[in-house]
């Protein structure tokens, strides 16, 4: 009998996780299958109980369950607990253990593409939501010396800085303050939904004062080049979209479940083919 894995969320039919994981299972000769699981907020507790009763080997969690699933798990990894969100669960001897691979997946994608010492780069994170939290906590935990947070609501940025339990040099900024001081930063990371399909003409930040040679990363991957990345590229910045984060967070989840790191280049090709004409 094949082992069962999956992803739960609401909505969930759009997820490309089954495409990459089922291909990886086949390539690694693992008798397993990965499904979509549509789970509402009201049905989350019953869904987790049902998955445990059925012996589901592992699953991913996406919006809106990353935070609310924590009370229903038997154990939560230290970083995931600090972030306050779980995106990966593994079944270990009948116990559901939660992890967060979002920040680690993003950090790995950065390290794969960026030359020089990542830890020395003065960094600005745009946004103060769940993705920003995972990325910010991970960057600081990995030793990045200075990471500032900018958000439309400066108070939320300040709360995020205050919540981070790791040693850090950070300050909270409004978006206007960030734009005015943009030339100070070596790395800008955009974590909001601004610019995501279908709102292609939106950008969260004016890049007129962008530092020459800066790196601008946007966690969006549909479209592959957001308005922010296009404008940053025109200013001479090195740019990175969110495809690497998506692939690496999935690959790290696969490794947690199976002990095998899958072929991330193959995963990337699958997603690019799947996106097809849906990008611009």
To the query of whether residue 92 is one of the catalytic residues in this protein, the response is no
Q: What is the mean pLDDT of residues 105-126?
A: 92
Is residue 136 domain-shared with residue 226, that is, in the same domain?
yes
Q: What is the pLDDT of residues 25-80, one digit of tens each?
A: 999 999 999 999 999 999 999 999 999 999 999 999 999 999 999 999 999 999 99
Q: Which of 2, 41, 66, 211 is flagged as catalytic?
A: 66
Please state the domain count of the chain: 2
Q: What is the pLDDT of residues 163-209, one digit of tens each?
A: 999 999 999 999 999 999 999 999 999 999 999 988 889 999 999 99
Q: Is 128 one of the annotated binding-site residues?
A: yes
Is residue 10 domain-shared with residue 92, that is, in the same domain?
yes
Q: Is 242 one of the annotated binding-site residues?
A: yes
Residue 280's pLDDT is 41
Is residue 107 domain-shared with residue 40, that is, in the same domain?
no
Q: Is 219 one of the annotated binding-site residues?
A: yes
Is residue 234 domain-shared with residue 251, that is, in the same domain?
no
Q: Which residue range is the domain that position 160 belongs to?
A: 103-240
Asked whether 100 and 86 are in contact (CB, 8 A), the reply is yes
Residue 227's pLDDT is 97
Is residue 80 domain-shared with residue 123, that is, in the same domain?
no
Is residue 220 domain-shared with residue 248, that is, in the same domain?
no
Q: Is 231 one of the annotated binding-site residues?
A: no
Q: Name the percent of the chain lying above pLDDT 90.
A: 91
Is residue 250 domain-shared with residue 210, that is, in the same domain?
no
280 within some domain? no
Q: Output the domain CATH number for residue 195.
A: 3.40.50.720
Q: How far is the C-alpha of 240 from the C-alpha of 256, rounded, in Å?
A: 26
Query: Could you please report the per-residue DSSP string of 113-125?
Result: H--S-GGGS-EEE
């Amino acid at each position: 009998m094949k082992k069962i894995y999956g992803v739960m969320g609401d909505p969930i039919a759009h997820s490309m996780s089954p495409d990459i994981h089922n291909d990886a299972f086949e390539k690694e000769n693992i008798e397993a299958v990965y499904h979509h699981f549509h789970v509402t907020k009201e049905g989350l507790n019953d869904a987790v109980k049902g998955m445990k009763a059925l012996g589901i080997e592992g699953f991913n969690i996406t919006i809106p369950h990353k935070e609310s699933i924590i009370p229903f798990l038997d154990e939560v990894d230290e970083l995931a607990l600090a972030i306050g969100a779980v995106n990966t669960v593994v079944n270990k001897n009948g116990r559901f253990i939660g992890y967060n691979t979002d920040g680690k997946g993003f950090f790995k994608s950065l390290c794969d593409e960026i030359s020089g010492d990542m830890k020395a780069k003065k960094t600005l994170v745009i946004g103060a939501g769940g993705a920003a939290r995972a990325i910010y906590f991970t960057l600081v935990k990995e030793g990045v010396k200075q990471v500032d947070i900018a958000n439309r609501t400066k108070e939320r940025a300040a709360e995020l800085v205050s919540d981070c339990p790791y040693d850090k040099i950070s300050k909270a900024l409004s978006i206007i303050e960030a734009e005015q001081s943009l030339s100070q930063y070596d790395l800008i990371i955009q974590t909001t939904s601004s610019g995501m399909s279908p709102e292609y003409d939106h950008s969260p930040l004016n890049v007129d004062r962008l530092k020459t040679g800066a790196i601008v990363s946007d966690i969006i991957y549909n479209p592959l080049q957001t308005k922010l990345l296009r404008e940053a590229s025109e200013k001479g910045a090195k740019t990175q979209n969110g495809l690497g984060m998506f692939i690496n967070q999935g690959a790290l989840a696969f490794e947690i479940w199976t002990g095998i790191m899958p072929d991330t280049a193959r995963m990337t090709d699958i997603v690019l083919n799947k996106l097809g004409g849906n990008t611009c």
